[in-house]
Amino acid sequence: MAGIQLNTLNNANIYIDGNSLLGRAEEFKLPTVKFKMAEHKAVGMVGAIKLPSGFEALEGEIKWNSFYPEVWAKLLDPYTAVQLQARGSLETYNSQGRQAQVPYVVFLTCSFYEVPAGDFKQNDKAEFQSKFFASYIKQVVDGKDVLELDTMANIYKVNGVDKLDLYRTNIGG
């Protein structure tokens, strides 16, 4: 088996407005980029096709392992966006073992829309799961931009290539 390389990404640290939240979150569900597709059909076509027409809202979740007042102070203000960041280490393996470790970083501009007071059970720790939407996401691997989506500025880049530059020009913005 020559040339097989496998990547693994199995942990991350979360930052809110530049402050580390190491050890405070159990799960961090990053938004899924989901394209809106518009159906197109016309006389003469033997079938319908779907064409991209925009993006669905970017939503994510954080499951906290306890209540942190300084964090909740930020989550409970839907009028002020927060900067979230997830930082991980993307490792590459082959038959000889680990070959590389590079930074995997996701930047988000978010507003929280669901902030729990907690779920309590006898003799169990309380659970807190908050939900947010993001207006901006940027994914960077080893210093290279993989994805950048800014829904407020009509920016969508894949591997550094601006996919909406002519669109912005065409609409005058």
pLDDT digit string, tens, across residues 75-124: 999 999 999 999 999 999 999 999 999 999 999 999 999 999 988 888 88
pTM of full prediction above 0.95? no
Nearest CA among 35, 61, 54, 36 for reference residue 134: 61
**110 CB burial (10 A radius; 0-12, 13-18, 19+):** buried
CB 115 within 8 Å of CB 130? yes
CB 78 within 8 Å of CB 113? yes
Range name among 66-70, 89-93, 119-123, 168-172 with the lowest pLDDT average:
119-123
Query: At the topology level of CATH, where does 6-30+58-170 sit?
Result: Pnp Oxidase; Chain A (2.30.110)
Cα(147)–Cα(141) distance, integer angstroms: 10
Reported as a pLDDT band with limits 50, 70 and 90, residue 173 is confident
Reported as a pLDDT band with limits 50, 70 and 90, residue 3 is confident
